[in-house]
Amino acid sequence: MAVSPYLLVGELLCFFVALSANSLLLYLIKTRAGSSFGRYRIMMISFSLYAIFYTTVETLTLPVMHIHGSGILFYVNSVLKYYKTAGIFVSTIYCGSFAFCISMLTTHFIFRYIAVCRNNKLYYFEGYKIYLWFIPPCILFAGWGTAIYLCFGPSQVNLDYFREMTMEIYEENIDDIAFLAPVYYLRREDGTIQFHLKDFFGAFLICNIMSICFTTCIVCAYKTYKKLNDLSTQMSNRTRALNKQLFWTLGLQTLLPCFTQYMPVGLLFVLPMFEIEVGKVGNVVGVTCCLYPAMDPLIAIFMIERFRNCVLRKGERSRSKSSKVGVSVMNSDGHSSAGIH
């Protein structure tokens, strides 16, 4: 078997962990978030639902990635492998999900910035208006997915380019499987190079979307952090503590996909431009990407105090302990009475 079975086991394990962890987080948001979270509860719920959607699409794709020369082969290794139309469709959605994720993170940072630094503008998120903030991520999702399909979809060029390698290394006939594959350029026999501009355009668009979103995240994060640590700002200790928990949770939730998704995926698109072959090592990207939806909810669960206390049952233990502690108070008759805390 050309594809390691450990890759399949790891991806399926991450799928079940992601479903369990995100379901638990949704329960905690419903039962423990409280009114102090305000409209941010909807943002958190949307992100958990997205993670469940993403891990489901990832499992329907089970991507295999391979860098060969100046191209990247991305083929479906799930039950949809030999259903080319359905396989290409689900792999396009899988790729588009990266854009939705980074744009949703950007929306979260904008919300935290407004809540902390411009709280007089929170009416932007009141009522139905909060749902309008999901339109830009949906647009970027559609744009990214469309670019992937149009620029990297099957063509005679990438079929011929990857045919021999696919048969030799993966024992697959590329004509029979669902795949996406940018090939940036071909070297002719006379030494000249034939560039494929549409493949370069697709990579350029993807990198620009990531750059714009990350820049917005960094600017909003810096201003929010500065405001939270400004002790002259009028804010109760409880509100400040909760805002700091949500801020650091969001920060870690941004660093996680940065290291598990965007840096690996970015390298996957950049390395072939310089003909840096890593071969099957490219499958590491598929593994790191499936880690994200499994680990992301755990950050929120253990970084936010009231969620952490509920999972670890700290509140119940403290109440149970205090209920058993009696304080004997001697009254004037010399008798004692027990007070329960």
The pLDDT value recorded for residue 233 is 61
Helix (H, G, I), strand (E, B) or coil at 128: coil
φ, ψ of residue 174 to 5 degrees: the values are: -65, -20
Pair 14, 290: CB distance under 8 Å? yes
The pLDDT value recorded for residue 313 is 84
Helix (H, G, I), strand (E, B) or coil at 110: helix
pTM of the predicted model, to two decimals?
0.82
What would the two tokens of residue 261 be?
């998704």
> With a cut of 50, which residues of the chain have pLDDT below it?
318-341
Q: Which residues contact 329 (CB under 8 A, 6 or more apart)?
A: 336, 337, 339
The pLDDT value recorded for residue 134 is 93
The pLDDT value recorded for residue 132 is 94
Helix (H, G, I), strand (E, B) or coil at 326: strand
Q: Which residues contact 200 (CB under 8 A, 6 or more apart)?
A: 184
The pLDDT value recorded for residue 323 is 40
Give CA–CA dist 206/237, Å, rounded. Answer: 42
Pair 183, 161: CB distance under 8 Å? yes
277 DSSP assignment: -
Which domains does the chain show, CATH number per domain? 5-21+45-295 (1.20.1070)
The pLDDT value recorded for residue 86 is 96
The pLDDT value recorded for residue 316 is 53
Q: Which residues contact 335 (CB under 8 A, 6 or more apart)?
A: none
The pLDDT value recorded for residue 235 is 67
The pLDDT value recorded for residue 336 is 36
Q: How many CB atoms lie within 10 A of CB 49?
A: 12
For CA atoms 22, 24, 30, 33, the dihedral sign is negative
How many residues in total does the chain contain?
341
